[in-house]
């Protein structure tokens, strides 16, 4: 039996078993990443697809994903590798790659505009050991590291990764305890603490998916953007108003098919609300 210290769940994992995320296991009493080096998705993407709008625009980045997730968003866009039955089928038959092999592939793609590696698609923090080991080598090769994450991890995990991560897009999925706990199965305070520390270490952009009837009010957007605007960057310098925010349109999928897609007009309206506090606001899926 081992206790996982990655996120708020602190799963007690029996020998050979799996934690809630499906990607951490216990071996010889130590909790480790069962998904270490298992890659389910690999693509050379535009950096804007992460989405990162103000980090090396017009560049390409090699994007790699594994399997598993520590949230349970009912509208998950990558459920096949995050927490569906298919995700754990990947666990049984997924092909593995070493950090050295992934970095070699990234280097071979420099001629196509590749600037480094993005850890994305599923939740990378639940397999932070592979992120850490690969990201170190990426830096040694003079390339950059990007992480796309839900931010649901202890700050100790972030501090281990921080020296090697150059940019993050973090999903700030809403701004209420109710939404995080009841709908997503997450921890609102942990995500806020993660973001607060991340912006002191690297370039950060935030994304919110606007789900009708859940997180779509002007009041919640104002409360969220006021909090973002108050964040401080390196050496305590004000940074919040210049943190890019991506506001994305929801489409019914996976386990959330009980409502219509968010209206384009409402996305544009909430973007205007956000611009009361933030300098860089982008709309997505419109």
The mean of the pLDDT values for the chain is 95
Whole-number pLDDT of residue 93: 66
Q: What are phi and psi of 45, to 5 degrees?
A: -115, 155
116 pLDDT higher than 90: yes
Structure tokens at 276: 């009361």
d(CA 21, CA 91): 12
Closest listed residue to residue 189, CA positions, set 218, 151, 220, 158? 151
Q: How far is CA 163 from CA 31, 145, 285, in A?
A: 23, 10, 32
84 pLDDT higher than 90: no
- Preceding omega of 51 cis (within 30 degrees of 0): yes
What torsion do the CA atoms of 66, 71, 77, 80 make, to the nearest 10 degrees? Answer: 50
With bands split at pLDDT 50, 70 and 90, how would you rate the model's confidence at 15?
A: very high
Largest alpha-carbon pair distance within the chain? 55
Whole-number pLDDT of residue 228: 98
Whole-number pLDDT of residue 92: 61
For the chain, which residues make up each domain, given as ranges? 2-284
59-66 mean pLDDT:
97
State pLDDT tens for residues 21-57. 999 999 999 999 999 999 989 999 999 999 999 999 9
Which residues have C-beta within 8 Å of that of residue 107, sequence separation ≥ 6? 141, 143
Cα separation of the two ends of the chain: 47
d(CA 91, CA 67): 7
State pLDDT tens for residues 153-181. 999 999 999 999 999 999 999 999 999 99
CATH architecture of 2-284: Alpha-Beta Barrel (3.20)
Whole-number pLDDT of residue 245: 98
State pLDDT tens for residues 176-227. 999 999 999 999 999 999 999 999 999 999 999 999 999 999 999 999 999 9
Whole-number pLDDT of residue 51: 97
State the alpha helices, DSSP H only, in 61-172. 79-82, 85-93, 99-108, 128-140, 155-161
With bands split at pLDDT 50, 70 and 90, how would you rate the model's confidence at 91?
A: low
């Amino acid at each position: 039996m081992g206790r996982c210290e990655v996120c708020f769940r602190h799963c007690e994992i029996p020998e050979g078993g799996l934690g809630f995320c499906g990607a951490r296991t216990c071996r010889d009493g130590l909790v480790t990443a069962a998904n270490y080096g298992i890659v389910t998705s690999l693509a050379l993407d535009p950096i804007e697809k992460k989405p990162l709008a103000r980090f090396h625009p017009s560049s390409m980045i090699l994007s790699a994903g594994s399997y598993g997730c520590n949230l349970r968003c009912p509208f998950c866009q990558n459920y096949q590798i995050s927490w569906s039955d298919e995700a754990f089928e990947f666990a049984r038959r997924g092909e593995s790659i070493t950090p050295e092999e992934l970095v070699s592939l990234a280097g071979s793609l420099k001629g196509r505009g590749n600037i480094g590696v993005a850890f994305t698609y599923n939740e990378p923090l639940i397999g932070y050991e592979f992120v850490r080991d690969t990201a170190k080598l990426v830096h040694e090769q003079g390339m950059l590291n990007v992480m796309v994450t839900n931010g649901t991890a202890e700050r100790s995990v972030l501090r281990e990764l921080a020296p090697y991560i150059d940019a993050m897009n973090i999903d700030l999925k809403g701004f209420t305890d109710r939404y995080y706990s009841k709908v997503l199965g997450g921890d609102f305070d942990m995500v806020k603490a993660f973001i607060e520390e991340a912006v002191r270490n690297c370039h950060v952009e935030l994304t919110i998916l606007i789900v009708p009837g859940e997180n779509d009010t002007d009041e919640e957007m104002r409360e969220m953007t006021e909090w973002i605007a108050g964040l401080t960057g390196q050496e305590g310098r004000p940074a919040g108003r210049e943190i890019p925010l991506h506001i994305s349109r929801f489409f019914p999928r996976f386990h959330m098919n009980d409502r219509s897609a968010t209206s384009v007009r409402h996305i544009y309206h909430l973007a205007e609300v956000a611009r009361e506090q933030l300098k860089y606001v982008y709309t997505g899926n419109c």
